[in-house]
Amino acid sequence: MNDTPPTRADARRALLGASRIAVLSGAGVSAASGVPTFRGPDGLWRNHRAQDLATPDAYRRDPLLVWEWYQMRFHIIAEVEPNAAHVALAELETRTDDFTLVTQNVDGLHERAGSQNLYELHGNLTKSRCEACGYLESLEPDFPLPPHCSRCGARARPNVVWFGEMLPQDAFQAGIDAFGRAEVALIIGTSAVVEPAASLGRLAAREGAFVIEINPEQTPLTPFATVSLRADAVTGMKQLLGDNVL
């Protein structure tokens, strides 16, 4: 019997040999692009309390304050580019039969990097959503605060999921399906403390997938990982895929 723990080389082999891959990404993937994460020393939640900005109550209380915060983040995102980790994930998709990327990020960078089978669990802050008719529109660089729907004129809100709100059910269901059938699950750049997103990693582990985590720090999903790479997202993807992909 061979009881040596699986290595980075095993993770690389598993990933490159898999025909069914599911990925869960978080803010750490966009860190190298210059998008702040939420938790940690420079995180967005250092200066703001989530319940003051990212809840339906906060928006009811002070819609302009909430919009100003999203507009600030919108401006950051407008000026950054996808990084090598986003590109590597898009590239991995092109060589994998069944590939699903579920992201908690609202920055749109996976899409800009070319990811196709992509589910944005927490929405996308580059769009607004009409509070009356639900119409989605891309925000323009100088959008007014608050923006109004160009179809019906009602006030529009950020197209993101706030704490206490339901996830888009089609996206979460796609995640459950993908993580339930994956041979390899890759958990990259997420603190894995927000549910139900993190439950996808546990689901894959329970179903016997080879679970790879890329994160400079331990997370609640680390015990479920077959192999944990203590690396930033770009370095970790390079370790797994080699320089040829990046």
Which residues contact ligand OAD by CB under 6 A?
26-28, 31-32, 37-40, 43, 50, 54, 104, 122, 161, 163, 189-191, 194, 215-217, 219, 232-233
CB of 131 to ligand OAD, least distance (A): 18
Which C-beta is closer to ligand OAD: that of 55 or that of 117?
Answer: 55
CB of 12 to ligand OAD, least distance (A): 18
Residue 6, CA distances (Å) to 11, 14, 21, 69, 212 in order: 7, 10, 18, 43, 10
Residue closest to ligand OAD, measured at CB:
28
CA distance 244 to 218: 28
In this structure, which amino acid lies at residue 174?
A: A
Closest to ligand OAD by CB, 21 vs 125, is 125
CB of 43 to ligand OAD, least distance (A): 5
CB of 78 to ligand OAD, least distance (A): 19
- Least CB distance from residue 122 to ligand OAD, whole Å? 5
Nearer to ligand OAD, 84 or 156 (CB): 84
**Catalytic residue IDs:** 122
Identity of the residue, 32 or 101, whose beta carbon is nearer to ligand OAD in the bound complex = 32
User: Between 20 and 55, whose beta carbon lies closer to ligand OAD?
Assistant: 55
